[in-house]
Structure 1
Amino acid sequence: MAAWAVQGQGFIYVAPKWQEGTPLEHNWINREGSEDFSNLVDYRDSYQPGARRYDVGERGNIHLVPMAKTGLRQLLDWGVGSIQYTIRARTDRIAERAADMGIAALPPELRAGHYLGLRFPGGVPEGLADRLARKNVYVSVRGREAVRVTPHLWVTDEDEDRFFEVLASALAH
């Protein structure tokens, strides 16, 4: 494996109505019978049943399982609802502060609590994401009109203040 290659651990829930769909990834491991290594070269066009058809071919990294298990246990201990509540409070404050700068967001009842799209009048200023990144503030430009802001649980009030200081400075240029 190349030094730059990334292999990770991921999870997906696939609703039963989508479990027989066509996957985006076409590899040997998501084909029917691929778990039978004695017939490994007996390739088939049909896919694994159910959600297994959506595997991307990197399920052999057993070393990541303990970390994934610990992370999932932490999520269950905290509770998804509590996490959403905590992050929504942060995104609501960010939306209010952005509105004071003339930057709009969807109303709370129309957005998820864990991320926020900030919409700039006249579109996202050219080079805004780069100017923010130079100050170690990272956002994702979405289309021509919005910037996605996704705070995590570890984001503090000081981080939020710094975001707005850097944003104001970047918009002034």
Structure 2
Amino acid sequence: MDHQKDFFSIPDHITYLNGAYMSPSLKTVEEAGIRGLKRKSLPFEITDIDFFKERTLLKQAFAKLIHADDHEFTAIIPSVSYGIANAANNIDFKEGDEILVVQEQFPSNIYNWQHIAEEKKLTIKTVNPPETFQDRGRLWNRYLLEAIGPKTKVVTLPQVHWADGTVFDLKAIRKKSREFDALLIIDGTQSVGAFPFSIKEIDPDALVCGGYKWLLGPYSLGMAYYGSYFHNGNPIEHNWMNRKDSEDFSRLVNYNDEYQPKAGRFSVGESSNFALTPMLIKAIEQLIEWKPENIQEYGRSISGEAVAALRELGCFIEEDNSRAHHLFGVFPPEGLDINKLKAAFKEENIFVSYRGDAIRISLHLYNTAEDLNKLVRILKNTLGS
């Protein structure tokens, strides 16, 4: 697969290796948003059906991306924390149950669990990586599997760790969690869209994704999948669109205690957002065309030379089969002046993130091998200065 730089508006002098922070918008996504904003200028042209048509298209597109057969298992959410809260507040916890997480996972998949653990007298059990870099990813996965036991009620973690790109073996984790009737809840924000994910293969109880990273969508809109465990649950927000027969505006004053089917009860209010919703539709449709497995392979192909060079310079990067290729952490060697490196990157218009002890590199189809090689040259020069 060739680069797709023409689909984006990134200037040629910018080396953007920071998609895990925020993706740039596709040109088509930007255009969809502008069209959506303009619709509000002519509100008399917006009909009753318009409140539901694009919501359905978005749910169908997301279901196709994650290989879910039924789009009614999906919901439109404003944030990961919102999606996690819908799940956390509908689990039948008992005092002493354990919630299993991994070290330094993103706060949006922690704070809800901390709150409910305190409220219901639960235990949060954190699985740490090994203290050594040797075989780090494989050992971390092994520790995680070993931690799942009779007290485990929920395993909630990312598919790809947001700080360093470590991939967690969701198939093995799902298999082990089933042995103890534990729920599996996935934060797919740093993977879905750029890394293969299949509901049919993993069968999680819930999947929650922010939309503004690898889904290439706008800020403040994301998607979730809720399995049958949650289909009789109570949403954290009671809005009119999530009630049965809400499509009939003439009957909205006939208040209905029944919800939309399956996961339809969990969508955020005003999810028919006439600017953001069509933007995310366009983004996901493009990802379906490109295919996440192709994006992953492209990342592998353009980063291989640079990864080898960084390792030769003494940097640690997780073994290739234990990490993602669209997002990975570079742990610099001793002696590197990180402040000097940051200044050099800034001067050369190289954009990355710094997460924990790692320099986080996150790339996409708008990048080329030269972008990665440029980063290597700057880091090498900084080490030698």
Give the secondary-structure state (helix, strand or coil) at the position aligned to 2:223: coil
Q: What count of residue pairs does the alignment treat as equivalent?
A: 160
- Distance in 2, matches of 1:61 and 1:106, equals 40
TM-superposed deviation, 1:49: 9.7
TM-score, normalised with respect to structure 2: 0.34
State whether structure 2 residue 373 is matched by structure 1 residue 142: no
Equivalence map 1:62-141=2 (5 Å): 62-122=274-334, 125-128=337-340, 130-131=342-343, 132-141=345-354
Once structures 1 and 2 are overlaid, which stretch shifts more, 129-138 or 109-118? 129-138
Equivalence map 1:37-56=2 (5 Å): none
Q: CA, structure 1 residues 163+17, in 2 after alignment: closer, same or farther (shift >3 Å)?
A: farther
- Distance in 1, matches of 2:277 and 2:225, equals 20
Query: Aligned letter for 1:112?
Result: A
**Identical aligned pairs, as a percentage?**
26
- Distance in 1, matches of 2:269 and 2:353, equals 28
Q: CA, structure 1 residues 66+103, in 2 after alignment: closer, same or farther (shift >3 Å)?
A: same
- Distance in 2, matches of 1:149 and 1:109, equals 17
TM-superposed deviation, 1:88: 2.2
Query: Aligned letter for 1:158?
Result: E
State whether structure 2 residue 370 is matched by structure 1 residue 158: yes
Query: Aligned letter for 1:136?
Result: N
| Residue of structure 2 equivalent to 1:3 | none
Q: CA, structure 1 residues 54+166, in 2 after alignment: closer, same or farther (shift >3 Å)?
A: farther
Give ranges in structure 2 of 5+ residues lacking alignment.
Answer: 1-217, 247-251, 254-259
Deviations 1:119-159 (A, max 9, x none): 1123863425631123211111121x211100111112232
Aligned residues of 2:221 and 2:276 also touching (Cα < 8 A): no
Give ranges in structure 1 of 5+ residues lacking alignment.
Answer: 1-6, 40-47
Once structures 1 and 2 are overlaid, which stretch shifts more, 149-158 or 87-96? 87-96
Aligned residues of 1:103 and 1:119 also touching (Cα < 8 A): yes
| Residue of structure 2 equivalent to 1:168 | 380
Query: Aligned letter for 2:281?
Result: K
Higher relative contact order (CA 8 A, sep 6+): 2
- Indicate the RMSD between aligned Cα atoms, in angstroms: 4.0
- Distance in 2, matches of 1:167 and 1:22, equals 51
In terms of fraction of residues, the more strand-rich structure is 2
Deviations 1:84-128 (A, max 9, x none): 111122333332121122212011111112111101123863425
